Chains A and B, each alone.
Chain A
Amino acid sequence: MVDTVVIPLLKILIVLNATLVAVTYMVLLERKVIAWAQSRLGPMRVGPYGILQPVADAVKLMIKEDITPVRADRWVFTAAPIMSMVPALIVFAVIPFGPTVTIFGHPVPLYITDINVGLLYIVSVASVGVYGIILAGWSSNSKYPLLASLRASAQLISYEIAVTMTLVSVILMAGSLSMVGIVNAQYNQHVWYVFAQPVAFVIVLIGGLAETNRAPFDLPEAEQELTGGFHTEYSGMRFALFFLAEYANMIVVSSVVTTLFLGGWLPPFPNLSVFHFLYYIPSWIWFFIKSFLFLYLFIWIRATLPRYRYDQLMRLGWKVLIPLGIANLIVTGIVKVLMS
């Protein structure tokens, strides 16, 4: 009873709440890092160094008036924010934060579930996430949101192909679709896949940036052209859900890239006995450190790079990343056959 019901429920509760807290603090981190990049202080007034700013933001967004445009499609307008938030959260079901550990005599795996098709599950849930954006734009019954949502979905679909094609070469390396299996494969092959698959790593990182609509690929929210993107007509908590979904997707991409390319929960040099003292730091802390590096990188990129033009974005996706991904897959296959 404890092992089959209570512990999984507790894990879901912890992961869900940790994600939501992390998402709200991502907003603060982003504002702070960008402020530092621009020689500003960032939020300073709510709490010491603005540490309570996310709480203030959340309260503000929750008590704000929630407006539905008169000509909007009421049901779809309400469902769209939920449809973009839910896929971002349910991906965490298969993300492994650590191996199985023993807590109070119970063996507890530090992941919610380990399914045979873990990576495919993530890809398919991500592909459903596009509905939130399309429907938000369509149901607002307004020009700019519709244009932005068409842009966003075209971008998402284009980069999804490149990323999925590239993930296949990682699957080829690991010989497994399970996220836990991929981490174990990196342990057994004595290499993090960032070194074995550098091209795949770069493609997945760029594709991840594009799929989360982050700078320099944040065209769906190009203020100069589209007044604010697909969520122009949204206000209050429903707008906040889109906002949170974007940050949750950033965390998802960081976690997936960490798991696939940086050995997930493994410490650096996991096989060398000289470095075995690194195991004294718990596995999930290693996971969080690595994911945090990517989150920081995303913010850093946003503070550094200007936005792409739409045709440049499409050219990069279709003419560079997809052929590169396919070439990488073929080379990986040939090398794998030659090595075996």
Chain B
Amino acid sequence: MAEAIAFYTLAAFILGFAVLVITTKNTVHSVLFLVVNFLFVAALYVLLGAQFLAVIQVLVYAGGIVVLYLFVVMLVNLKRPPEAHQDPHRMTKIGASLAAAILLEVAVIAFSGYVSAPAATVAPPPVPVTGNTEQVGWLLYTNYLIPFEIASMLLLVAMIGAIILAKREL
């Protein structure tokens, strides 16, 4: 019961701040609402018992990525009006159709009972360690080794790309 109350409160805050992020006119305020939103998502992870994920969420998203967003927003002049499109409602149309598609997907998943079906058939892999961080580490280096390595390759490529862009003549 307490968990449900906590969940719905957090969910309400997350959705509320998400709406504020996209409706606020001032871009810096919008980025700040995004930070608050990420902090509430981290709280949701804590509620799910995933402390490691919660801390990483704060460290990577709230503390890292959004700081870069903030730099860009602060340093780029956003006062100038957006370029006029031929069709001013083009973005609205694309957005509405995307939202409709996602809503349809969620509805299909919810009504077909897809969410609970695989959980019953696939047994969770045995993890020989205790503790949240240890379990995440164990799974990353056993069952999910290849996706993990691919992700790290991707980050390496991004790093090299950033260096090459910044230093044209090495």
Q: Which residues of A contact B (CB under 8 A)?
A: 73, 75-76, 79, 115-117, 120-121, 123-128, 130-131, 134-135, 138, 146, 150, 153, 157, 177
Contacts and interface: CB of A to CB of B under 8 A. Distances in A.
B52 A130 contact: no
Interface in B10-35: 26, 28-29, 32, 35
A127 B32 contact: no
Q: Is the interface of B mostly helix, strand, loop or mixed?
A: helix
Given A123-B59, A127-B63, A131-B35, A116 B51 contact: yes
B58 A117 contact: no
A116 B132 contact: yes
Contacts of B127: none
B74 interface: yes
Contact of A120 (B26, B52, B131): B52
Given A116-B132, A134-B74, A121 B55 contact: yes
A279 to B, nearest CB: 29
22 contacts: A73-B26, A75-B29, A76-B28, A76-B32, A79-B32, A116-B132, A117-B51, A124-B58, A124-B63, A127-B59, A127-B63, A127-B67, A128-B35, A128-B58, A128-B62, A130-B67, A131-B32, A134-B67, A134-B71, A134-B74, A135-B28, A146-B74
B97 interface: no
Contact of A116 (B28, B58, B70, B131): B131
Contacts of B28: 73, 76, 135, 138
Contacts of B64: 127
Interface of B: 26, 28-29, 32, 35, 51-52, 55-56, 58-59, 62-64, 67, 70-71, 74, 131-133
Contacts of B29: 75-76
A97 B70 CA distance: 36
A127 B131 CA distance: 24
A79 B32 CA distance: 11
B47 to A, nearest CB: 14
B59 A120 contact: yes
Contacts of B56: 120, 124
Contacts of A177: 133
Contacts of B52: 116-117, 120
B78 to A, nearest CB: 13
Nearest to B57: A124
Nearest to A129: B63
Contact of B58 (A115, A125, A157): A125
A128 B63 contact: yes
A134 B66 CA distance: 12
A263 to B, nearest CB: 23
A123 B70 CA distance: 20
Contacts of B58: 124-125, 127-128
A124 B66 CA distance: 13
Contact of A153 (B26, B32, B35, B67): B67
Contacts of A117: 51-52, 55, 132-133
Best-surrounded residue of A120, A126, A153, A157 (most CB of chain B within 10 A): A120
